[in-house]
Amino acid sequence: MRRVLGILAVLFLSFAGIATAQAGVSVKVDIAAQRMQVTTTDGEVYNWAISSGRKGFRSPNGVYRPTRLEKNWYSRKYGGAMPYAVFFRGGYAIHGTNAVGALGRPASHGCIRLHTANAAKFFALVKKHGAGQTRIALNGAADDGLSQFAKASGGAKSKLAKAKARERAAVAQSRKAPSWNAAREQIFLRPALPVDAFGYQPYYPNQRWR
């Protein structure tokens, strides 16, 4: 009987260990779409608008684990509150923001901003499941307003440069003043004025143009 109870206890602990190992939070941050999807092994699914790093402060792509959690944090470097901050790489964190009007487009110094209510929910999920059971993946690139030329590769840049040069040449040609011969032809094509009209100038075929 004791042997049976021992086996049952081992099986129970094994299943409990498997359940614990499988429990966790999966985070996918789509920088291009400016969205963050959160799923848990409990069946919870969330999809929130974010603000990633703006031009010059791009958010770091990669796969991370939370390094620390700070419910009330203030950035002395940038002078801003970071409520419910879940740090995942150095000073980079997923945190709440008051700049909710900017959500949906790049606006931060590299962190992932959320509506404060969503940041609080995410913070609670990480605390519940544990940092070791939370996986944060950042992927993609935001449209930072670079020109088509700046985004192009070497060969494409050469083609774009040639096309731009042809366009400039065509514009310059269209702006050139007409030649003297073309102007004289236009004068001759004008309707003749009556002899007694004001400003009438007789035409002498043998007169040389100066």
- Decide which of 91, 125, 145 is a domain's last residue: 145
Flag whether 134 is in a domain: yes
> What domain range includes position 50?
22-145
* Sequence-separated (6 or more) residues with CB below 8 Å from residue 85: 69, 70, 71, 73, 93, 94, 95, 119, 123
Residues 165 and 180 in one domain: yes
Question: 113 and 155, same structural domain?
Answer: no
Query: Are 43 and 140 in the same domain?
Result: yes
Q: Are 184 and 209 in contact (CB under 8 A)?
A: yes
Helix locations, the chain, DSSP H: 2-22, 116-129, 148-151, 154-175, 180-188
Paired with 95 in beta bridges are 113
Residue 29 lies in a domain: yes
Quote the CA–CA distance of 48 and 34 in Å, as a whole number.
9
182 and 116 belong to one structural domain: no
C-alpha to C-alpha distance for 103 and 120, rounded to whole angstroms: 16
Residues 93 and 169 both lie in one domain:
no
Same domain as 101, residue 171: no
Identify whether residues 117 and 158 lie together within a single domain: no
pTM of the model: 0.60
CATH number at residue 141: 2.40.440.10
27 and 127 both lie in a single domain: yes
Question: Is residue 62 one of the residues assigned to a domain?
Answer: yes
pLDDT in tens, the chain (210 residues): 555 445 544 454 444 444 444 559 999 999 999 999 999 999 999 999 999 999 999 999 999 999 999 999 999 999 999 999 999 999 999 999 999 999 999 999 999 999 999 999 999 999 999 999 999 999 999 876 544 444 455 666 677 777 777 877 776 776 665 566 666 665 555 555 555 555 555 555 555 555
Domain assignment of residue 179, yes or no: yes
- 28 & 49 share domain: yes
Residue at 118 is within a domain: yes
pLDDT value at position 6?
52
> Are both 98 and 155 inside the same structural domain?
no
The pLDDT of residue 2: 56
Asked if residue 56 and residue 72 are part of one domain, the reply reads yes
* Residue that terminates a domain, selected from 130, 145, 160: 145
Q: What's the pLDDT score for residue 17?
A: 47
Let me know whether 136 and 75 are in one domain.
yes
Q: What pLDDT sits at residue 10?
A: 43
Task: Determine, yes or no, domain membership for 2.
Answer: no
The answer to whether residue 106 is domain-embedded is yes
Domain membership of residue 196 (yes or no) is no
Number of domain units in the chain: 2
